[in-house]
Amino acid sequence: MPGAALGEGSVGRPAPLHPAYVRITHWINAVAILAMIGSGWEIYNASPLFRFEFPKSITLGGWLAGALLWHFAAMWLLVGNGLFYVLLGLASGRFRRKWLPLRPADFMRDLRAALTGRLAHGDLTVYNAVQKALYIGVMLAGLVSIASGLAIWKPVQLRGLAVVLGGYEAARLVHFFAMAAIVAFFAVHVVMAVIVPKTLRAIIVGR
Amino acid sequence: MARLRISVPGVDTELLARDAAKLLPDATRRQFLRAGASLGALVFLTGCDIVDGRSAETALRVVSGFNDRVQAWLFDPNRLAPTYPESAITRPFRFNAYYREDEAPDVDEDTYRLLIDGLVDDRQPWTLDRLYALPQETQITRLVCVEGWSAIGKWTGTPLREFLRRIGADTRARYVHFTCAEGYSSSIDMATALHPQTQLTFKYDGEILPTKFGFPMRVRIPTKLGFKNPKHVIGLTVLNAYTGGYWEDRGYNWFSGL
C-alpha cells in the first residue's frame, strides 16, 4: 500500500499514529495560521466590516503596513506547507482512510454523544464522525479562505475568481467568514487537545 | 451592493482621526514588529531573534520585494479592470488622504506646471491649458484602498501611455515616478504606466477635479491600490532607479497591484 512508503505501517515497530510529515506540517501550519489570523485581524481593523474591532493586544503587525507585510509573508508558508500536506495526504490515501466514510447517521449519533459528554476517545487510530466532519470542514474553510484571499488581493488579474465569489466586496465578507470558521475549529481543536492530552503527545512524538 | 456598502463607513471625524493616527509614525512604525501579548508572541515564543526588531523588518521587506516580482509576473498588460455603469458610482465618493480634507493643497491653476524629468526627449513643462487640450477618455472603475474598503468612481483624462508617447519617453525604462504639491510621491512600473486604463486625470464625475480629489491632476490607476493613485501631481520622471514613495517607504508593498 502506498502509505508504507511514507512510513505508515513499517515492519517491526508499530506504525506511528501520525507519520512524520503530518506532525511537521501540522506545526508549521499552526505557526502560519496564527500569523495569518493575527495579521488579518489588524488588517480588518483598518476598515472594519462590522461594528467591532479586534483588540490591538491580540493582533500582529502593530499597524496596517506591518500587518500586511506579515500577512503576505506568512501566506507563502501557509500555501507551501499546505500544498505539501494535501498532496501527500491524497497520494498516500491517508485522507480517504482517516476521513471517509462520513455518514450523516454516524455524525448525528456521535454529535449527540459528544454533546452529552459520552463520546469515547479510547482509540486514537480511528476518528469519530464528528472529528471527521470537523477535519473535512476546516480543510474546506481553508480552501475558501485562500480563494477569497486571492480574489481580494488580485481582483483584476484574477477577475474570474472575484466574479465567482460575488465581486470584490463580497469576497471580503467570504474571507472574513472563512477566518471565523477556522477560528471556531481552532477553539474546539485546542479544547479537545486539553481534554484528551494524549492526542497532543501523538501530534508531537507520533504515538 | 447597496446593502454591503452600509458596512463601509463614510467620511466622519472618527475615521479621519484614525487615519491621522496611522500616520503618527516613526515610533509607531518601528513598533509594528512588537508583538507584545499578541498571537505573534505565541507564534514566535521560540524565536526571540526573529521578533527582535530590525532583523524581522529586514526579513519582511525582503519578502515584500519578492512579492513585487511575483506581482509584476502576474500582471497582464492587456487585462482590463472591470468597468461599471453610472448607476454603480459610489455617492458621495469618499475623501481619503493622510491629511484632513481642509489641509489639501491649493494649487494655483495659472502658475501650475507639470514638470517633466528623466529619460524623455521633451522636458518642457506643461501648462494646464496644454494638458486639458490632450485627447481624453472616461472610465468608471473601482478604487480599492489598502485599508480594504472600495468605491466606484468616474474619472476623465488622458491615458498616461499617450502622454508618454508625446513627450518621447523611453518606455524601456523601468519606472515612472510622480511628485505631488503636498509632498506626497509614488512610483510605478513601466508595464502599469503603459496599461490602457492608467490615466492622467483632470475630471471627477464630469467636473474639473475638486481640490479634495487632487486638483488639478491626479494619476488614476485601476490596476493598483488607491495609495498608488497620487493627487495634485506636479512632477513626472521616467527613470531606471527605484525611488519608492511616501507610503512605500513606510512599509506598504511597492507594487501593490490588483
Q: May I ask the CATH architecture of the domain B1-258?
A: Alpha-Beta Complex (3.90)
Among B74, B82, B251, beta carbon nearest to A69? B251
* Domain membership flag for residue A53: yes
The three grid cell numbers given for residue A183, joined into one nine-digit string: 477560528
Alpha-carbon dihedral B162, B164, B168, B174, rounded to 10 degrees: -140
Q: What distance in Å separates the CA atoms of residue B142 and residue B93, rounded to the nearest whole number?
A: 11
Q: Are residues A111 and A206 in the same domain?
A: yes
Would you say residue A7 lies in a domain?
no
- Which residues does chain B have within 8 Å of residue A64's beta carbon, measured at their own beta carbons? 22, 146-147
pLDDT band for position A3 (cuts 50, 70, 90)? very low
Residue-level length of chain B: 258
In terms of domains, do A85 and A101 share one? no
A20-46 vs A168-195: helix crossing angle, rounded to 10: 130
Which range marks the domain in which residue A108 is found? 95-207
The reported pLDDT for the residue numbered A120 is: 82
The DSSP H or E segment spanning B71 is helix B53-74
Q: Is residue A156 in a domain?
A: yes
Q: What was the ipTM of the complex prediction?
A: 0.88
Mean pLDDT over residues A89-117, rounded?
94
Residue A140 pLDDT greater than 50, yes or no: yes
- Which residue is closest to A50 within chain B, CA to CA? B7
Residue where a domain stops, chosen among A92, A121, A137: A92
Domain boundary among A72, A92, A112: A92
Q: Bridge-partner residues for A79, per DSSP? A: none
Positions in chain B short of pLDDT 70:
1-52
Q: What is the mean pLDDT of residues A139-155?
A: 98
Predicted confidence at residue B182, as pLDDT, reads: 94
Phi, psi of A27 (to 5 degrees): -80, -30
Cα–Cα dist B62/B77, whole Å = 25
- How many distinct structural domains can be found in chain A? 2
Euclidean distance between CA atoms B210 and B129, whole angstroms: 17
Q: Which residue has the cell 511537521?
A: A24
Contact B35, B51 (CB under 8 A): yes
Test B149 with A69 for CB contact under 8 angstroms. no
Backbone angles phi, psi at A49, to 5 degrees: -80, -25
Residues of A with CB under 8 A from a CB of B: 31, 34-35, 37-38, 43-44, 46-50, 57-70, 72-73, 76, 152, 154-157, 159, 167-170, 172-173
Closest CA–CA distance from residue A30 to any residue of chain B (Å): 8
Same domain for A113 and A79? no
> Alpha helix locations (H) across A48-167?
64-91, 94-99, 104-115, 129-153, 159-164
Q: Are strands B233-239 and B115-118 parallel, antiparallel or unpaired?
A: parallel
Q: Does the pLDDT value for residue A80 go beyond 50?
A: yes
pLDDT in tens, B31-84: 444 433 344 444 444 444 445 577 888 999 999 999 999 999 999 999 999 999
Give me the pLDDT at residue A12, please: 62
Hey, are the CB atoms on A47 and B35 less than 8 Å from each other? no
Do A67 and A138 reside in the same domain of the chain? no
Residue A118's φ and ψ, nearest 5 degrees, are -115, 15
- Please answer whether residues B134 and B185 qualify as being in contact, where contact means their C-beta atoms are separated by less than 8 angstroms: no
Closest of B117, B91, B258 to residue B179, by C-alpha:
B117
Query: Same domain for A115 and A37?
Result: no
A184 with A149, same domain: the answer is yes
pTM of the model: 0.85
Query: Distance between CA B138 and CA B201 in Å, rounded?
Result: 9
Question: What confidence score (pLDDT) does residue B38 get?
Answer: 46
Structural domain includes residue A187: yes
What integer pLDDT is reported at residue B136 of this predicted model?
Answer: 98
The answer to whether the Cα torsion of B241, B246, B247, B250 is positive or negative is positive
Mean pLDDT score of chain A: 92
| Contact call for residues B189 and B175 (beta carbons, < 8 A) | yes
Q: Which of A92, A116, A150 is the last residue of a domain?
A: A92
Give the model's pLDDT for residue B56.
87
Q: Is residue A6 domain-resident?
A: no
Please tell me whether residues A61 and A125 are part of one structural domain: no
Predicted pLDDT of residue B49:
44
Shared domain for A112 and A174, answered yes or no, is: yes
A3 in any annotated domain = no
Cα distance between residue B93 and residue A11, in whole Å: 69
Contacts of A159 in chain B (CB under 8 A): 79, 82
Residues A184 and A115 in one domain: yes
Domain match, A67 and A101 both = no
**A5 within some domain:** no
What pLDDT sits at residue B3? Answer: 36
Whether A163 and A74 map to the same domain: the answer is: no
Q: Are A102 and A155 part of one and the same domain? A: yes
Distance in angstroms (rounded) separating the CA atoms of residues B230 and A80: 35
Angstrom distance (rounded) from CA B229 to CA B75: 17
In this predicted structure, what is the pLDDT of residue A11?
54
Cell of B76: 497582464
Calculate mean pLDDT across residues A162-182: 98
Neighbouring-strand partners of residue B156:
B138, B203
At how many degrees (to 10) do helices A20-46 and A64-91 cross? 150
- The whole-angstrom separation of Cα A105 and Cα A111 is 10
